[in-house]
């Protein structure tokens, strides 16, 4: 899932580099909606953002609506005969936050979750009852000079995830700002190869 203001098409070329044989990649588009963080301007956004600060309050209602959309997308793929354990969720920035939340709250186990340059939303009260998948492998990648979603937020997210998840990988990309890189995409591909074997 793409970040705030982007589209699925914006990531489709880069994700083509991680595609494995017999893998289907879906790059959905977020709806256009007002974003509080940006003065109420409408833009592609998975959920409303009030701020990019892990200590602040978040719009849980908006996050839950986005989560239902992703759960429905996964349900649709399962309805086509694909096992949930062959489905991975991933995203960048806001899309990564949604991938983490949706993946961790999905009712069935998934193959893996990928969060790039991201954070875990509503981490202060992440529902214990929703931690369905403690064994799902999680890959986090974050640039150490990210000026948008600070590197410290990525580190904090990894520590939170490690408190209730068994398989968390956090990779640091030196000199990387708020974007992806070839090195990171190679690591994502290796992660998917392990998850989907």
| Inter-residue contact 43 to 3 (CB < 8 Å) | no
Q: Check 167, 178, 179, 181 and give the catalytic one.
A: 178
The per-residue DSSP string of 26-50 comes to ----PPEEEEGGGTTEEEE-SS--S
Q: Which of 64, 144, 146, 137 is nearest to 105 (CA)?
A: 64
123 part of the active site: no
Q: How crowded is the C-beta side of 21, counted as CA atoms within 13 Å?
A: 1
146 part of the active site: yes
Q: Check 6, 48, 146, 187 and give the catalytic one.
A: 146
Q: Check 2, 6, 45, 93 and give the catalytic one.
A: 93
Count of Cβ atoms closer than 10 Å to residue 180 Cβ: 19
Phi, psi of 140 (to 5 degrees): -120, 135
Q: Which residues are catalytic?
A: 93, 146, 178
């Amino acid at each position: 899932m793409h970040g705030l203001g982007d589209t699925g098409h914006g990531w489709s070329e880069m994700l083509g580099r991680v595609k494995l044989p017999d893998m289907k990649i879906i790059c959905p588009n977020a709806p256009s909606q007002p974003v509080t963080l940006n003065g109420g301007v409408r833009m592609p956004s998975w959920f409303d953002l009030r701020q990019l600060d892990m200590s602040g309050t978040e719009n849980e209602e908006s996050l839950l609506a986005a989560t239902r959309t992703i759960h429905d997308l996964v349900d649709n793929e399962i309805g086509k005969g694909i096992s949930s354990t062959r489905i991975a969720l991933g995203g960048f920035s806001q899309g990564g936050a949604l991938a983490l939340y949706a993946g961790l709250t999905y009712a069935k186990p998934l193959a893996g979750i990928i969060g790039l340059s991201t954070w875990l939303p509503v981490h202060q009260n992440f529902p214990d009852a929703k931690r369905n998948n403690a064994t799902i492998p999680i890959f986090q990648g974050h640039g150490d000079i990210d000026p948008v979603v600070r590197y410290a937020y990525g580190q904090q997210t990894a520590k939170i995830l490690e408190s209730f998840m068994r398989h968390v990988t956090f990779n640091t990309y030196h000199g990387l700002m708020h974007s992806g890189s070839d090195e990171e995409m190679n690591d994502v591909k290796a992660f998917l190869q392990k998850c989907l074997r």
